[in-house]
Amino acid sequence: MAGASSALKRVYLAAYNWIVFVGWFQVLYFAVTTLKESGYRDVYDAVERPLLFAQTAAVLEILHGIVGLVRSPISATLPQVGSRLYVTWGILWSFPEVRSHFLVSSLVISWSITEIIRYSFFGMKEALGFAPSWLQWLRYSTFMVLYPSGISSEVGLIYTALPFMKASGKYSIRMPNTLNFTFDYFYAAIIVLITYVPGSPHMYGYMLGQRKKVLSKAKAS
């Protein structure tokens, strides 16, 4: 019974990883093709569907951690997935005015390369029980460049969207109302930006620690 449960878990995780891998591969392909053919202003329109699918699918990773399907700590998964979902839906999808910004290209390319490597790595481990050493090295090394470029793009796009948030009042709740409650999306976005200051170095340090641990173990074996 335990063996069947373990096999089912591996089949599910392998399928999940490869399906999301395909989504991110589409994002990268459409982004690069569009940059070559028409320029950065059209990148978002080209990648929107696979981007929304692939990034939203990451919500399952939080659930995987909660129910114990994977060993990734929720404390690391939640802020990373949450910030990306916020930028994907709360910024790019919600404020079309920022979609033609050149930072969209650096964002989706940084995200997609990172996730193509990550999902192929875990997809192979679940499907085959192992992954090539070169892929493991890429999984735990490319973030040193791609994480700063992705985070910088996230911060830049949130900042770019601020005037449009303020002018539109979108998602804000004004007084008076029956709940006697007020919420300003503009100021909430500023708070989000502030959280990047301590959060980004913390996540980068965590990933450096993981890199050292995993690659040292691989070298020893």
Positions annotated as catalytic residues are 147, 154
Tell me how far apart the alpha carbons of residues 135 and 131 are, in angstroms, rounded to a whole number.
Answer: 7
- Quickly list DSSP for 50-115: HHHHHHHTTHHHHHHHHHTSS---HHHHHHHHHHHHIIIIIIIIT-GGGTTSTHHHHHHHHHHHHH
Token match 């980068």: residue?
A: 204
Question: How many Cβ atoms sit within 10 Å of the Cβ of residue 113?
Answer: 20
DSSP 3-state of 121: helix
- Tell me the helices (H) and strands (E) count for the chain, helix number first: 8, 0
% helix, strand, coil for the chain, step of 5: 80, 0, 20
C-beta of residue 150 within 8 angstroms of C-beta of residue 88: no
Tell me how far apart the alpha carbons of residues 89 and 96 are, in angstroms, rounded to a whole number.
Answer: 11
